[in-house]
């Protein structure tokens, strides 16, 4: 939580650019962060799944975290993803994020692959130990982990663990889950967010979401949906949402994390849209269709570096 009010609004995920040989493009990372700030974001999330965090070494994570926090330099709050199956590693990552100046950390429940999953007791203890380090925590409730986080359990963590005060829900039926969680946890949830490229944003705002965590493809075009909804103008919010929904749907269903890199490369933000093997680049027809949808909408990322 900030000094005056809870974090809310648009907190997109920063992609990690690579050179064509798959090494880190650190100058490109700085340009990504500058572009995102110029998109008018309320904050930035780094080292998330859409940052290809599962393809980064520990040394690369530290380099990117340090670079991101030093380069953003307080212009917007930065959320650092610190998930790991091992609680001790989570603690070390959270401690580093705190020491480098992160505003918050985001954690998935402990899991590894398809079969190693922490119990509710394991998850509670891991989050409790991470919370003791002193940063606000956003619980990421996403299908990728394969760990089901029931509403009563999420509400219990929010009520009983200081600093576990934000949630990002991106499971099927997000709006219903957000509504139930807000009712169950009350003020213990300072920031109910959705994610998954903001594909269900309008329903989630109706359910009480106060923030969203999309990709960095079009946060400048997502912001008007939140602004209009917060002002009580649902018709305007729906008009803004309907305008961008085809692009969001295409990103979510056809492209995944590769969409943002394609748009940012086309917009001169980064030099390469490379993803790390075993991920594959977008097929050319899909790439062309993505840019065809994005072009008329004129997102900042598509022109920022031209």
Written as tens digits, the pLDDT of the chain (306 aa) is 455 699 999 999 999 999 999 999 999 999 999 999 999 999 999 999 999 999 999 999 999 999 999 999 999 999 999 999 999 999 999 999 999 999 999 999 999 988 999 999 999 999 999 999 999 999 999 998 999 999 999 999 999 999 999 999 999 999 999 999 999 999 999 999 999 999 999 999 999 999 999 999 999 999 999 999 999 999 999 999 999 999 999 999 999 999 999 999 999 999 999 999 999 999 999 999 999 999 999 999 999 998
Whether the Cβ atoms of residue 130 and residue 162 lie closer than 8 Å to each other: no
Q: Which residues are catalytic?
A: 168
Other Cβ atoms within 10 Å of 288 Cβ, number? 12
For position 14, what pLDDT does the model report? 99
For position 1, what pLDDT does the model report? 47
Residues facing 194 on adjacent strands: 169, 212
The pairs formed by 62-67 with CB atoms below 8 angstroms and a separation of 24 or more are 62/96, 63/24, 63/26, 64/16, 64/24, 64/29, 65/96, 65/97, 65/100, 65/102, 66/100, 67/26, 67/29, 67/30
Q: Report residue 80 as tokens.
A: 């650092």
Tokens 């925590």 identify what position?
A: 137
Q: Which residues contact 150 (CB under 8 A, 6 or more apart)?
A: none
Distance of alpha carbon 252 from alpha carbon 255, whole angstroms: 6
Helix axes 58-72 and 87-100, enclosed angle (nearest 10): 30
**How far is CA 194 from each of CA 54, 132, 198, 200, 264, rounded to the nearest angstrom?**
21, 25, 7, 8, 23
Whether the Cβ atoms of residue 137 and residue 130 lie closer than 8 Å to each other: yes
For position 205, what pLDDT does the model report? 99
Which residue from 188, 154, 156 is spatially nearest to 174, judged by alpha carbons? 154
Q: How far is CA 201 from the centre of its chain?
A: 14
Structural domains in the chain plus CATH codes: 9-223 (3.20.20.70)
Pairing of strands 116-117, 111-112: antiparallel
Distance of alpha carbon 239 from alpha carbon 235, whole angstroms: 6
Distance of alpha carbon 107 from alpha carbon 94, whole angstroms: 10
For position 53, what pLDDT does the model report? 97
What is the number of residues in the chain? 306
Q: Report residue 190 as tokens.
A: 């300072």
Helix axes 120-131 and 87-100, enclosed angle (nearest 10): 30
CA geometry: angle 228, 233, 235, nearest 5 deg: 100
Q: Is the dihedral of CA 164, 165, 168, 173 positive or negative?
A: positive
For position 181, what pLDDT does the model report? 99
């Amino acid at each position: 939580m900030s000094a005056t009010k809870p974090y809310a609004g648009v907190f997109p995920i920063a992609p990690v650019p690579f050179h064509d040989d798959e090494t880190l493009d650190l100058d490109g990372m700085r340009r990504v962060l500058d572009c995102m700030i110029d998109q008018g974001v309320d904050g930035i999330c780094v080292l998330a799944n859409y940052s290809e965090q599962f393809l980064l070494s520990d040394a690369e994570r530290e380099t990117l975290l340090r670079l991101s926090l030093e380069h953003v330099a307080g212009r917007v709050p930065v959320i650092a993803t610190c998930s790991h199956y091992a609680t001790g590693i989570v603690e070390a990552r959270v401690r580093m994020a705190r020491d480098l100046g992160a505003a918050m950390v985001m954690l998935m429940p402990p899991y590894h692959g398809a079969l190693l999953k922490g119990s509710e007791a394991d998850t509670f203890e891991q989050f409790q130990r991470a919370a003791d380090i002193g940063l606000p925590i956003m619980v990421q409730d996403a299908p990728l982990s394969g760990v089901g986080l029931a509403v009563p359990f999420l509400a219990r963590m929010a009520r009983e663990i200081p600093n576990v005060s934000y949630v990002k829900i991106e499971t099927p039926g997000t709006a219903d889950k957000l509504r139930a969680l807000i009712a169950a946890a009350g003020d213990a949830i300072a920031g109910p967010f959705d994610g998954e490229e903001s594909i269900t944003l309008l329903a989630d705002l109706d359910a009480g979401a106060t923030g969203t965590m999309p990709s960095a493809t079009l946060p400048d075009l997502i912001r008007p949906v939140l602004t209009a909804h917060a002002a009580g103008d649902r018709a305007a919010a729906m008009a803004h949402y309907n305008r961008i929904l085809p692009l969001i749907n295409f990103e979510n269903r056809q492209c995944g994390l590769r969409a943002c890199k394609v748009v940012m490369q086309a917009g001169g933000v980064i030099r390469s849209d490379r993803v790390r093997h075993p991920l594959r680049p977008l097929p050319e027809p899909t790439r062309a269709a993505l840019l065809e949808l994005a072009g008329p909408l004129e997102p900042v990322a598509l022109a920022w570096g031209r």
